[in-house]
C-alpha cells in the first residue's frame, strides 16, 4: 500500500479521514462477523485492514498536531462539532469491533481448553518428544479393521 501524503489539517480533511476510518472499521466488522474471518484469506484481509487502519489513524494523529484546525474550529464551531461527532462515531465502531474480536478470541480459547483437557499445562501435539508423528490410537484401531 502506497503511503498517502498527510492532508492539510482542515476541518473538512478531518471529516474526510475519519470517514475513511469509519469505512475501514465497517469492512473489519463485516469480516469479523463472517464465518471464516480467522481462517485462511480472512486472516490476510484482517491484517490488511489493520495496516490500513493504522495508517489512517497515524494520518489523523499527525493532523491533530497542526494548529490550523484549532483556529479553523474557532471560526466555524458548527463544523468543529461535526468533526467531534465523526470522531465519536469512529470510537464507537472501534469499540464494537473490539467486542466482536474479543468474543471470537474467547471462543477460540474455550475450544483450545476443551481440546487440551484437564491439565492446562499439557499441550496437544502432533509429534512425540522424539519428533515422530504422535499416534492417537490410529494404528491400534487400524489393526481391528
φ and ψ at residue 127, rounded to 5 degrees: -125, 145
- The answer to the question of residue 2 being in a domain is no
pLDDT of residue 141: 42
- The answer to the question of residue 133 being in a domain is no
Read off the C-alpha cell for 72: 479553523
> Which has more confidence, 71 or 88?
88
- The answer to the question of residue 142 being in a domain is no
- The answer to the question of residue 141 being in a domain is no
End-to-end CA separation in angstroms for the chain: 55
43 vs 52: CA distance, rounded Å = 14
- The answer to the question of residue 46 being in a domain is yes
Grouping H, G, I as helix, E, B as strand and the rest as coil, residue 1 is coil
- The answer to the question of residue 143 being in a domain is no
pLDDT bucket at 131, cuts 50 / 70 / 90: low
pLDDT of residue 40: 60
- The answer to the question of residue 145 being in a domain is no
16 vs 63: CA distance, rounded Å = 12
CB 15 within 8 A of CB 66: no
pLDDT tens sequence across 74-129: 899 999 999 999 999 999 999 999 999 888 888 888 888 888 765 555 555 655 66
63 vs 76: CA distance, rounded Å = 18
- The answer to the question of residue 135 being in a domain is no
84 vs 40: CA distance, rounded Å = 37
* Number of domains within the chain: 1
Claim: this prediction has a pTM higher than 0.75: no
pLDDT tens sequence across 31-58: 888 866 566 667 788 889 999 999 999 9
Identify any residues that bridge with 133 across adjacent strands, giving them in sequence order.
127
Q: Nearest Cα to 14, choosing from 93, 68, 95?
A: 68
- Residue 107 belongs to what domain range? 11-125
Read off the C-alpha cell for 57: 489513524
**Residue with cell string 462515531:** 89
Amino acid at each position: 500500500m502506497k503511503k498517502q501524503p498527510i492532508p492539510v489539517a482542515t476541518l473538512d480533511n478531518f471529516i474526510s479521514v475519519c470517514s475513511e476510518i469509519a469505512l475501514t472499521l465497517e469492512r473489519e466488522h463485516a469480516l469479523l462477523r463472517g464465518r471464516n474471518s480467522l481462517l485462511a484469506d480472512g486472516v490476510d484481509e484482517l491484517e490488511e485492514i489493520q495496516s490500513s487502519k493504522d495508517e489512517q489513524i497515524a494520518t489523523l494523529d499527525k493532523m491533530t498536531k497542526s494548529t490550523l484546525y484549532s483556529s479553523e474550529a474557532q471560526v466555524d464551531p458548527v463544523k468543529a462539532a461535526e468533526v467531534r461527532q465523526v470522531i465519536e462515531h469512529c470510537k464507537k465502531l472501534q469499540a464494537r469491533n473490539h467486542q466482536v474480536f474479543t468474543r471470537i478470541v474467547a471462543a477460540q480459547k474455550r475450544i483450545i481448553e476443551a481440546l487440551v483437557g484437564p491439565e492446562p499445562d499439557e499441550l496437544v501435539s502432533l509429534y512425540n518428544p522424539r519428533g515422530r508423528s504422535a499416534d492417537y490410537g490410529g494404528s491400534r484401531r487400524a489393526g481391528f479393521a
